[in-house]
Amino acid sequence: MSAAHLGIVRVLTSDDREFVGTHGRVIAARYGIATESRCIPGQPHGIHDADTEALAVPKIVELARDLAADGAGCVLISCAADPALAETRAAVDVPVVGAGSAAAAVASGLGGRIGVLGLNDAAPRPIADLLGDRLVASVRPDGVRRTTDLLEPGADERALAACRRMVDAGAEVILFACTGLTTIGLADRVRAEIGVPAVDAVLAAGLLASYALH
Amino acid sequence: MSAAHLGIVRVLTSDDREFVGTHGRVIAARYGIATESRCIPGQPHGIHDADTEALAVPKIVELARDLAADGAGCVLISCAADPALAETRAAVDVPVVGAGSAAAAVASGLGGRIGVLGLNDAAPRPIADLLGDRLVASVRPDGVRRTTDLLEPGADERALAACRRMVDAGAEVILFACTGLTTIGLADRVRAEIGVPAVDAVLAAGLLASYALH
Instruction: Count the Cβ atoms, other than its own, within 10 Å of residue B188.
Output: 10
Neighbours of A84 (CB within 10 A): 29
Contact yes or no for B172 and A89 at CB 8 A: yes
Q: Do the beta carbons of residue A209 and residue A176 sit within 8 Å?
A: no
pLDDT at residue A23 in the model? 92
Q: Would you list the DSSP string of A136-184?
A: EEEE--TT--SGGGGGSTTHHHHHHHHHHHHHHTT-SEEEE-STHHHHT
Supply the pLDDT for residue B1: 40
CA B112 to chain centre: 20
Are the beta carbons of A106 and B197 separated by less than 8 Å?
no
Q: Do A108 and B105 touch (CB under 8 A)?
A: yes
**Which residues of chain A does B132 touch, with a Cβ-Cβ cutoff of 8 Å?**
132
B33 touches chain A (CB under 8 A): no
Dmax (CA) for chain A in angstroms is 48
pLDDT the model gives residue A1: 40
Q: How far is CA A30 from CA A84, A175, B25, in A?
A: 26, 18, 22
- Nearest CA among B94, B97, B102 for reference residue B85: B97
Chain A contact for B111, CB < 8 A?
A: yes
Per-residue pLDDT of chain B (214 residues; tens, 9 = 90+): 446 999 999 999 999 999 899 999 999 999 999 999 999 999 998 888 899 999 999 999 999 999 999 999 999 999 989 999 999 999 999 999 999 999 999 999 999 999 999 988 899 999 999 999 999 999 999 998 887 888 889 999 999 999 999 999 999 999 999 877 876 778 889 999 999 999 999 999 999 999 999 8
Q: Would you call A69 an interface residue with chain B, using a CB distance cutoff of 8 Å?
A: no
Task: Give the separation between CA A162 and CA A179, rounded to whole angstroms.
Answer: 16
A85 in contact with B, Cβ within 8 Å: yes
Gap between the Cα atoms of B18 and B102, Å rounded: 24
**Please, where are the H alpha helices in chain A?**
17-20, 22-31, 50-69, 85-91, 99-110, 125-131, 155-168, 180-183, 186-189, 201-213
Task: Find chain A residues with C-beta within 8 A of B212's C-beta.
Answer: 110, 197
Asked if the Cβ–Cβ distance from B93 to A195 is below 8 Å, we say yes
Could you say which of 3.40.50.2300, 3.40.50.300, 3.30.930.10, 3.40.50.1860 is the CATH number of the domain covering A101-201?
3.40.50.1860
Nearest CA in chain B to A170: B90
**What Cα–Cα distance (Å) separates residue B107 from each residue in A83, B71, B128, B134, B142?**
19, 30, 12, 10, 23
Cross-strand partners of B176: B117, B200
**Residues 6 or more apart in contact with residue A147 via CB below 8 angstroms:** A119, A178, A179, A180
Give the minimum alpha-carbon distance from B141 to chain A in angstroms, rounded to a whole number.
24
Q: Residue A105: which of B89, B95, B108 has the nearest Cβ? A: B108
In chain B, which residue ranges form alpha helices assigned H by DSSP?
17-20, 22-31, 50-69, 85-91, 99-110, 125-131, 155-168, 180-183, 186-189, 201-213
CB pair distance less than 8 Å for A109 and B214: no
Residues of A in contact with B101 (CB under 8 A): 108-109
Residue A107 has pLDDT above 60, yes or no: yes
CATH number belonging to the domain at A6-99+203-213, selected among 3.40.50.1950, 3.40.50.1860, 3.40.50.410, 3.40.190.10: 3.40.50.1860
Judged by a CB distance cut-off of 8 A, whether residue A90 touches chain B is no
B22 in A contact zone (CB under 8 Å): no
Angle at B174 between CA A211 and CA B146, to 5 degrees: 115
| Region(s) of chain B under CATH 3.40.50.1860 | 6-99+203-213, 101-201
**Is there a contact between B86 and A112 if contact means CB atoms under 8 Å apart?**
yes
The verdict on a CB contact (< 8 Å) between B97 and A89 is no
Instruction: Note the pLDDT of residue B2.
Output: 47
As a whole number, mean pLDDT of residues A159-185 equals 90
Q: Are B59 and B43 in contact (CB under 8 A)?
A: yes
Whether the Cβ atoms of residue B112 and residue A86 lie closer than 8 Å to each other: yes
Return the ∠ at Cα B191 (arms to B186 and B192), rounded to 5°.
Answer: 100
pLDDT at residue number B3: 64
User: Cα–Cα distance between B105 and A204 in angstroms, integer?
Assistant: 11
Q: What is the ipTM of this complex?
A: 0.92
Taking the CA of residue A96 and the nearest CA in chain B, the distance in Å comes to: 6
**The pLDDT of residue A18 is above 70:** yes
Q: How much is the pLDDT for A3?
A: 64
